[in-house]
Amino acid sequence: MAVGEDKLPALLPVAGVRLGTVSAGIKTAGRRDLVLIELAAGSHCVGVFTRNAFCAAPVTVAREHLQQANARPRYLLVNTGNANAGTGKQGLRDARSCCDALALATGVSSAEVLPFSTGVIGEPLPVERITTALPDAIAGLDESGWADAAQGILTTDTRPKGLSVTFSVDGRNYVVTGIAKGAGMIRPNMATMLGYVATDAAVAPDVLQKILADAANLSFNRITIDGDTSTNDACMLVATGAAGNEPLQAGDDSPLQRALVDAVQEVCVGLAQGLVRDGEGASKFVTVTVNGGRTEQECLDVGFTIGHSPLVKTALFASDPNWGRLLAAIGRAGLESLDVDRVSVFLNEVLIAENGARAASYSEEQGVAAMAPEDIVIRIELDRGDASASVWTTDFSYDYVRINAEYRT
């Protein structure tokens, strides 16, 4: 079950990036579950990772490799079907073994390989299956491999997610292409379960890191499916420099930098919303917009309290305009000195509550009609400041429970 159009848009090649996707039989025989991403020499690569203290072994190793002096990763190695999380020191050895094997096969150093994993937590990584499949992955590297890679990184997702954006500055053309996966255990709190975005622009590493952090904050950090932050979250941004521009530096406020920031943000928002639309068991795509807060953070606190509420989410699944659950969620969001008489609540532009109670103009028939579409906007007006924020979430369905109850079987 998913919400909205089930069609992967055309994903444009990024000069300097090649991708290969193969089957290693990690969890399911015959399923393509291993993705190799090759970055041209001289590319810069930055990342954001999970804040979960029980972070997976590949997250630890990828961070270590990125932090090494003059780190310029040449390969990203992604497996599905096994998270290599909760696996202790053996998990670290296994992640490093995969890096070593790929480094040996490609003639780079192990530190130039970044590992990523997603799947079941607590099971040993099948290193031999992965390393045995590496020659086929290397042989399959292709600039046009984005769509296959988008499919190859999926777990419980029902469809791949990807987006390309092009733009021109001073007569030179640029592209940003990205893919992501994630359908459950989604409140990234940094990035997403797995995401890979690349551009052919030349960008200094510190600028690239800021572009990614800002884009993640406005996209992946604004979504929740179930309020759970994964052990394996990682999102990477690559700049190959193949477009030939002078590298963007800190302090630049050039048309190119502004255009690149906008393009990366557009890709990340598109991917983030795609994750929500494909949330496990989702039948609704819900935008929660909170206006009139004293700070952006308190708007986010209200938005996420609504987005995380099982009572709100189950009402959404039933298309039941149970507005009392929205008031209860707003009231427990922790806002200091909240004047409930100044709060207004809208459901797809239908005013349902004001002055601390049901709106005089509201009828149950209006509420039922507002809850019928797949796409729903819940708008909260706090009337206590100028800040605003939006988050995106889903409903909770029977299928969400089934998918997660049966996840290991």
Count of domains for the chain = 2
Is residue 259 domain-shared with residue 337, that is, in the same domain?
Answer: no
Amino acid identity, position 156: T
pLDDT band at 404 (very low <50, low <70, confident <90, very high): confident
Note the pTM of the prediction, 2 decimals. 0.94
Tens digits of residue pLDDT in 271-281:
999 999 988 88
Cα–Cα nearest to 268, from 337, 216, 344, 190:
216
What pLDDT sits at residue 192? 62
Tens digits of residue pLDDT in 28-59:
888 999 999 999 999 999 999 998 999 999 99
For the cut 70, the answer to whether the pLDDT of residue 69 exceeds it is no
For the cut 70, the answer to whether the pLDDT of residue 343 exceeds it is yes
User: ∠ CA(280), CA(282), CA(288), 5° rounding?
Assistant: 115
Is residue 121 domain-shared with residue 246, that is, in the same domain?
Answer: yes
Cβ atoms of 223 and 393 closer than 8 Å: yes
Tens digits of residue pLDDT in 279-297:
888 899 999 999 999 999 9
Average pLDDT of 344-361?
Answer: 96
Is residue 151 domain-shared with residue 252, that is, in the same domain?
Answer: yes
The CATH code of the domain that includes 27 is 3.60.70.12
Catalytic residue numbers read 192
pLDDT band at 400 (very low <50, low <70, confident <90, very high): confident
Amino acid identity, position 257: Q
Tens digits of residue pLDDT in 234-274:
999 999 999 999 999 998 889 999 999 999 999 999 999 99
Helix 323-331 to helix 296-308 angle (10° resolution) is 130
Tokens representing residue 129 in the block: 């299956």
Domain closes at, from 277, 303, 320: 277
Domain closes at, from 255, 277, 299: 277
* Minimum mean pLDDT range among 41-45, 59-63, 188-192, 340-344: 188-192
The CATH code of the domain that includes 296 is 3.10.20.340
CB atoms within 10 A of CB 8: 17
In Å, what is the CA distance from 316 to each residue of 231, 289, 293, 320?
28, 16, 25, 6
Is residue 76 domain-shared with residue 189, that is, in the same domain?
Answer: yes
Cα–Cα nearest to 332, from 364, 349, 309:
309
> 228 in a domain, yes or no?
yes
Is residue 266 domain-shared with residue 334, that is, in the same domain?
Answer: no
Average pLDDT of 173-197?
Answer: 87
Is residue 235 domain-shared with residue 293, that is, in the same domain?
Answer: no
For the cut 70, the answer to whether the pLDDT of residue 349 exceeds it is yes
CB atoms within 10 A of CB 140: 16
Average pLDDT of 365-381?
Answer: 96
Is residue 229 domain-shared with residue 362, that is, in the same domain?
Answer: no
CA distance 34 to 134: 9
Tens digits of residue pLDDT in 136-166:
999 999 999 999 999 999 988 889 999 999 9
Is residue 250 domain-shared with residue 332, that is, in the same domain?
Answer: no
Longest dimension (CA), the chain: 72
Is residue 245 domain-shared with residue 362, that is, in the same domain?
Answer: no
